[in-house]
Structure 1
Amino acid sequence: MTPYAPLIERGEKLLLLGAGCYFVFKNFTPVFVTHNVVACLYMAEALLDMTFTVIRQRGPLSHNWRDWLVAVLGTYASLLVVAAPQAPPVLPSVLCGSLALIGILLSLAAKLSLRRSFGIIAASRQLKTGGPYRVIRHPMYAGYLLMQMAFLLQYPTIHNTVVLLFTWWMQIMRIRAEEKILGTRKEWVDWSQGVKWKLFPFVF
């Protein structure tokens, strides 16, 4: 760990807080006035990320600036979406809400399994193999993807489409960066051989 790691971590937490505040500012009406289920769950996920970021434990972080870049963009770019009530949803709101609920529950289950091993930047923290990690390697990111798909189906604007397509691209790069670091540990290699799927069984 570099001597600048504590300062970098504080900066990362401030960035997350700033992105969360931006989301609240841009989406105040659908989240706190109309109480749209998808928007509320999206906000709840952002708050969960903030909480787990604060309590996480430190670990040997990647020193590759590309790993930092994809981690930051993959995490915070998703908060640039805007809930646009004027945009007609692709699917009925009840279906979008159900998809969002599944996503946040999957993400929460992954966070509870990780506990203080949760992190944004690729790092070699304590290996967790319980809960949803018995089925897929990156259940938290799968939960994010479901949440974001629900948001896009509820608010299908060009802006949200561009933001989330970029976010998903960064997330794929982020998965590759994490697995490159974790692949240096025999215990992870042994576990990954039994857990074939990265995000969704029989898909990816």
Structure 2
Amino acid sequence: MFTGIVQNYTALKIEQSRDQFKSFSIDLTDRQADQLQIGASIALNGVCLTVTRIDAGRAYFDVIMETLRATNLGQLADGDWVNVERAARLGDDIGGHLMSGHVASTVTLIDIERPANNCILWFALDPGQRRYLFSKGYVGLNGCSLTIGEVQADRFNVYLIPETLTVTTFGQAQVGTAVNLEFDAHTQAIVETLERMKAEGAL
């Protein structure tokens, strides 16, 4: 599990690229490397990945077809920045909201507003995604736990504080970028349960 509090961003190195398979590596901070073992989980852009190798302060990951299809990891080039969070450990602060690292899909960044001392990001939205999003609810975007601002028919926004812009890749975000989306699991469970009960005539 993850908290959605991104620890840093770093450059991604593509170690291998084959048909429906890629191998990545990243530099680890001292805190991330502490007692890290093969088989542990680290989120890159919010995608939960398994550490397959640790060498000289770097962690290595294998990424296969479904992850490459459903997330933005398949679109990344060598040297692109990724948000990094090591899996939460017992006793860690839950500063964001609990996240699984299971990305549902991507959303496209369609507008950036910069009023004085603020940054507002707008993302395109389709009806299937909209059913799980509501104003002041939670959402995971490239691994960041964020509070939703407004939800409209075909778009939604989030408001970012300066610290988020400094610590994450959103400080360099550009319109047209595909961003990984993870729904709040509790919201998704409630919505799908109510829809199923309605379809069965229980509501």
Give the number of the structure whose residues are more often helix, by fraction. 1
TM-score normalized with structure 2 length: 0.31
